[in-house]
Chain A
Amino acid sequence: MKPIARTLILCAAIAGAADLAAAAEISMAANSTGKNLSFLREQIAKFEKDTGHKVNLVTMPPSSSEQFSQYRLWLAAGNKDVDVYQTDVIWAPQLADQFVDLTESTKDVVGAHFRSIVQSQTVNGKLVALPFYTDAPALYYRKDLLDKYGKKPPETWDELAATAKEIQDKERAAGNPDIWGFVFQGNAYEGLTCNALEWIKSSGGGQIIEADGTISVNNEKAAAALERVKGWIGTISPKGVLAYQEEESRGVWQTGNAVFMRNWPYAYSLGNGDDSAVKGKFDVKPLPTATDGDQPSSTLGGWNLAVSKYSDEQEASIAFVKFLGSPEVQKARAIQLSNLPTIAALYDDKEVAAAQPFMPNWKPIFQDAVPRPSAVAKVKYNEVSSKFWSAVHNTLSGNGTAAENLELLEVDLTELQGDGW
């Protein structure tokens, strides 16, 4: 009897230990933008039911830069309390050392995601985070106004400026004093880096810092692109555009006071809301280029899921990340929150297309998405971006010419680069 009893106890102990290992408790840090948290809670309930794990949600502020500072502090301190992080597309290179390499554990699913997005999360061959949802801006245009004046959606920036000017002037003459031609994001912040990168890249002026680390921003095409935009301020764009972020430009657009707008997808469903003055009157297309031969360029945005290397529950965390990144969850997210999936096949999904008719339109925009130089500038990216948007903002507000400011920027970036990025 005795040996049997001992064996039984041992078995029970092992089973108990195995049970403990199976039912892990993990924590996820996620931003409180829009309905993100309530959506996550719903998905977590499903995940907990399926796997027996427990997931706690750590609520973070909506601002991306505030989250970044906090995450950086936690990771620098080797914090074990948070296992899964929801990360901005530009953070991967800056935090790469602190996250688990997901290459092996996600190799069965990663192929379904857009290559450019997976690329942006890969640092030195290490997959830092699994794509969750994505963002790529487009040109919003007023179908009704373009039809009224017999115009086609513009293919080049100059065409856009000419069309915008003509419609703006005629509409004002027709008794619509508040209308403007084009609104975008001109405030001195990360959004201006995105906008200016699009202007420069679509003019053949490079992408600030090239993939091999060369600082390319000081060139004639880039300067011409910025000078072109400077010409818009006060003519087709309000002077206040230099203080606009996404929401301010959407405010002008959605009250029917702009012919064109550059913005992210979230503005599509809101623009078609019942309280919108432009409901059903607009459409989207890829951003224009400088000349017909250039490639249209949208800056890549979006969010991803990373696992902390300090986590004690890496296995469960990876399972959770793969669950959130799965086609089912991404589909639910697309239908409920109109966030763009990172899985190519979902753009042909009938239910997604029915709920969000604009989404199939976004597929061509993805093919040309340009990553910001965060992969090459690594830990110095935030400073690069800050210097770049300052140079652009100075140019647009008339503080020095584009050529002068870009020359200075090149000097600053070279000094920042030092021995290497």
Chain B
Amino acid sequence: MTEVSLAGPPSAIAGKGIGSDLQAQRLRSAWIFLAPTLLVLAMVAGWPLVRTIYFSFTNASLTNLSAAELVGLQNYLSWVTLKSGRTIYRGLLADPAWWNAVWNTLRFTVISVSIETALGLIVALVLNARFPGRGLVRAAILIPWAIPTIVSAKMWAWMLNDQFGILNDVLLGLGLISQKIAWTASPDTAMIAVLIVDVWKTTPFMALLILAGLQMVPGDIYEATKIDGVHPVKVFWRITLPLIRPALMVAVIFRMLDALRIFDLIYVLTPNNAQTKTMSVLARENLFDFDKFAYGAAASTMLFLIIAAITVLYMWFGRLNLEGER
């Protein structure tokens, strides 16, 4: 996130030249103003992160954290060669359960963020139009986002229940299904159930961020296109979309970071289902349920690295494209 905000103006300001004294002074005061934030961040984010990474190189267990000993990369990857000559790999990077969790997380992220972006864009365009009661609708649409995830997940768990759930009841009533579906328990539908709830919950967030972007677009451009008689679809692709692109990029990054570390929704809806177990759920399971604190710390560290890598890649590609267009 910091890179996004720093990418533009600072490089322009930090040009060569006039009054390097002034420049230095500005830099100094910037650091002074930043210091408290950095200090707090180091305490609440930096220190736990460093400790987690440290524990991932030890054999720590939750009941005896202080006696942790360094074991090198054993939690990540280790191998032994048996007498028969066969080599056995162990550790997180050789654990099929981990790779399954990585795959689930990536699949969930790509599908959910794509749907949410598309729906959010549509909702934002609708809300950007002038119609009576617009303020009320704008407020109402935020309700799913305002409900805490744990509450909405539990609420949906009841609605998705195969025996008493309203969803099965409605679908049966409409004749769309012939027998009750065990949404959250069946391996085929578990991921669909999670996606439904996530899209319901976070589309308003996307819509809000995109709407903010839409309102920055100057109205006279649209007036000009109207006079020139440009087709509205063309206006959308050639004018609206390029102009809200920065807002869209930021919204997608926010959602992507959130989706990659998704935990609460899945923990409530489908905790033991191999089809929906994500990296965070797997890390928690090892940290607290199983007696493998160090292994869970390794999983958390990998999760951190994967998110960081994906974010950097995304921003890099995003910037390349932007500059290509200019």
Residues of A within 8 A of B152 (CB): none
B229-258 toward A: CB 8 Å interface, digit per residue (1/0)? 000000000000000000000000000000
Distance between Cα atoms of A210 and B284 in the complex (Å):
29
* Pair A382/B163 contact, Cβ less than 8 Å: no
Residues of B within 8 A of A379 (CB): 61, 63, 291
* Closest-CB distance, A124 to chain B (whole angstroms): 15
Residues of B within 8 A of A187 (CB): 185, 272
Distance between Cα atoms of A65 and B288 in the complex (Å):
10
- B325 CB–A CB distance under 8 Å: no
Residues of B within 8 A of A97 (CB): 63
* Closest-CB distance, B84 to chain A (whole angstroms): 14
Chain B 41-93 interface residues, beta-carbon cutoff 8 Å to A: 61-63, 65, 90
* Pair B162/A248 contact, Cβ less than 8 Å: yes
Residues of A within 8 A of B290 (CB): 380, 382-383, 386
Distance between Cα atoms of A251 and B62 in the complex (Å):
39
> Which residue of the partner chain B has the closest CB to A187?
B185
Residues of B within 8 A of A244 (CB): 185
- B209 CB–A CB distance under 8 Å: no
> Which residue of the partner chain B has the closest CB to A255?
B163
Distance between Cα atoms of A380 and B186 in the complex (Å):
28
* Pair B62/A76 contact, Cβ less than 8 Å: yes
Distance between Cα atoms of A133 and B273 in the complex (Å):
31
Number of B interface residues at 8 Å Cβ cutoff, please give it: 20
Distance between Cα atoms of A98 and B292 in the complex (Å):
18
- A243 CB–B CB distance under 8 Å: yes
A374-402 toward B: CB 8 Å interface, digit per residue (1/0)? 00000110110010001000000000000
Given contacts A187-B185, A248-B162, contact A382 B61 (CB under 8 A): no
* Closest-CB distance, A205 to chain B (whole angstroms): 24
* Closest-CB distance, A223 to chain B (whole angstroms): 22
Distance between Cα atoms of A65 and B289 in the complex (Å):
8
* Closest-CB distance, B181 to chain A (whole angstroms): 9
Chain A 52-98 interface residues, beta-carbon cutoff 8 Å to B: 65, 68-69, 72-73, 75-76, 94, 97-98
Chain A 206-263 interface residues, beta-carbon cutoff 8 Å to B: 240, 242-244, 248, 251
Q: Which residues of B contact A (CB under 8 A)?
A: 61-63, 65, 90, 162-163, 182, 185-186, 271-274, 284, 288-292
Q: Which residues of A contact B (CB under 8 A)?
A: 65, 68-69, 72-73, 75-76, 94, 97-98, 187-189, 240, 242-244, 248, 251, 379-380, 382-383, 386, 390, 415
